[in-house]
Amino acid sequence: MKKRVLGTSGIEVSVLGMGCWQYGGGTYWGEQSQKDVDEVVHKALDLGVNYFDTAEVYNDGASELALGISLKGRRAQAIIGSKISTSNTQPSVLRAHCEASLKRLQTDYIDLYMLHWPISPLSVKHFTQDAALIANPPQLQEVFETLQSLQKEGKIRHIGISNHGVKQMKEVQDAGVKVVANEMAYNLLSRAIEESVLPYCIQNEIGVIGYMPLLQGLLTDKVTSLDELRPLQARSRHFHHSRGEGTRHGEEGAEAEIKQALQEIRLLAHTLGTPIITLALAWAISNEAICTTIVGSRNVKQLELNIQGASYELSQATIQRLNEITEPVLQRLGSNPDYYESRLNSRIY
C-alpha cells in the first residue's frame, strides 16, 4: 500500500483510506454489524490501510463508537480523523464534544480533528435548528483557539478543515492557524476542486483528503441507471432537484452529461478488462495532490475490491481519456465544490 505525507503533519497516510460513515448503522446507509466492522478494520490494517475517517455526526456518534471497538489492541497502527460539527464549536461545547469523541473512540488522542464545514450561518443551519446560534455562529478565531488548546493538551495531534474553499482557507490562515488537511469531495463526476482549491492547497502545503470517490455508489458496477439510486443518495447538484429526498440546491442537475459519461466509462472499463469501481478509485488516487482517498467498505469482499483500485496503475493515456469523458459534467456543474447547495447560495467560497 502506497503512502503519502499529509500536508506538513509528517504523518504518512495510505493512499486508500477507510470511510467510516456506515459504521454503527443508521438511516442513511442502513444496518451495519459490528462483526463486519471488526473484520474490515483488521483486514484493512493487515493490507496497509491506516487512515480511518469518521465524524461525531455520523450515525449520532455510533460510527466513532464502532471504530473504537474495532481498533482495540491495534490503535497505534491507525491514523484516526474525526470531525466537529459547526453547530458545536462554541469553546465549552467544542471541548465537551471532543472529549465525547475521545471516549467513544476509546483513545487518548485523535490524530486529525477537523472542522466539518466552514463557520457560517448556512453551514450551522445544516446541523441545528437553534435560530440564535444560526444567526450568530461562533467567531472563527475563538473556534480555532479552542482547537489549538486541545492540541497543546495532546487530545488532538493535528488540526484540519473540511469543505473549505480558497477564501475560507485564507480566513483560517489569517487567524494564525496551521491546518494540515482539507477534506473535499473528489471523483470522476465531482472535479470542482481542480480549478482553485487543489492548487491553493498544493501551494500552501495543505494535504487534501478526497471523499465520495464513488459518488454514493454511482461509480460502481452495481448501479446501471440513475433511477437505481435511493433518494437520499441523489440529493446533490449532479441530479435534478426533484429526484433527491430533502434536496436543497434547486438546480437542474447534469443527468444527461452523467449518463453519457457513465456509458463511456463502462466501455473503457470493458476495454481495459477492469471493474468500473477499480477504474474510478485508481483515477482519484492517481492524482498525487490527493493524500488519501476515503471509501467505505461494508465487508471484507468490498474492501478487497477497493484495494484493487489502490494498486491498479493507470496509463497517462487512460487518465487523459477519463478526463475527456467527464469534462462535460465538470463544465455543467462548475467549479463550486458544494454539491448540496445552490451555487448562488453556497457554503463553500
**pLDDT tens-digit series, residues 38-97:** 999 999 999 999 999 999 999 999 999 999 999 999 999 999 999 999 999 999 999 999
CA atoms lying within 13 Å on the CB side of residue 294? 24
Mean of pLDDT values over 339-345: 95
Residue with cell 459518488: 215
The pLDDT assigned to 190 comes to 98
The amino acid at residue 185 is A
Write the pLDDT tens digit of every residue in 113-150.
Answer: 999 999 999 999 999 999 999 999 999 999 999 999 99
The pLDDT assigned to 248 comes to 94
Please spell the DSSP secondary structure of 8-59, one letter per residue: TS--EEESEEEE-TTTT-BTTTB---HHHHHHHHHHHHHTT--EEE--TTGG
Q: Which band of pLDDT confidence, cut at 50, 70 and 90, is reported for residue 245?
A: confident
Residue with cell 443551519: 125
The pLDDT assigned to 170 comes to 97
SS3 at position 83: strand
Residue 84 CB burial class (10 angstroms; 0-12, 13-18, ≥19):
buried
Residue 235 CA to residue 231 CA, distance in Å, equals 7
Contacts of 40 (CB under 8 A, 6+ apart): 18, 70, 297, 298, 299, 300, 302, 303
CA distances for 83 relative to 55, 112, 282, angstroms: 4, 8, 26
Per-residue cell: 211 = 471523499
Q: Give the residue with greater pLDDT, 222 vs 316.
A: 316
SS3 at position 332: helix
pTM, rounded to two decimals: 0.96
| Domain boundaries of the chain, sorted by first residue | 3-215+278-313
Exposure string of 22-33, with b = 16+ CB inside 10 Å and e = fewer, is bbbbbeebeebe
Helix (H) or strand (E) holding 81: strand 79-84
pLDDT at 246 over 90: no
SS3 at position 124: helix
The pLDDT assigned to 304 comes to 95
3-state secondary structure 94-116: HHHHHHHHHHHHCCCCEEEEEEC
Closest Cα partner for 183 from 167, 204, 201, 195?
201
Q: Which band of pLDDT confidence, cut at 50, 70 and 90, is reported for residue 29?
A: confident
The amino acid at residue 208 is V
Mean of pLDDT values over 8-26: 96
Query: In the CATH scheme, what is the homologous superfamily, with its name and number, of domain 3-215+278-313?
Result: NADP-dependent oxidoreductase domain (3.20.20.100)
The pLDDT assigned to 21 comes to 94
Write the pLDDT tens digit of every residue in 292-301.
Answer: 999 999 999 9
Mean of pLDDT values over 214-221: 93
- Please say whether the beta carbons of 22 and 52 come within 8 A: no
Percentage with pLDDT > 90 across the chain: 93
pLDDT at 27 over 90: no
Pairing of strands 16-19, 12-14: unpaired
Quick one: CA dihedral 341, 347, 348, 349, positive or negative? positive
- Please say whether the beta carbons of 157 and 126 come within 8 A: no
pLDDT at 223 over 90: no
pLDDT at 34 over 90: yes
Per-residue cell: 83 = 470531525
Per DSSP (E only), the strands in the chain are 3-5, 12-14, 16-19, 51-53, 79-84, 110-115, 156-162, 181-185, 207-211, 290-295
The pLDDT assigned to 124 comes to 95
SS3 at position 119: coil
Residue 347 CA to residue 134 CA, distance in Å, equals 13
Closest Cα partner for 114 from 139, 142, 75, 80?
80
Write the pLDDT tens digit of every residue in 199-216.
Answer: 999 999 999 999 999 999
The pLDDT assigned to 30 comes to 87
pLDDT, mean over the chain: 96
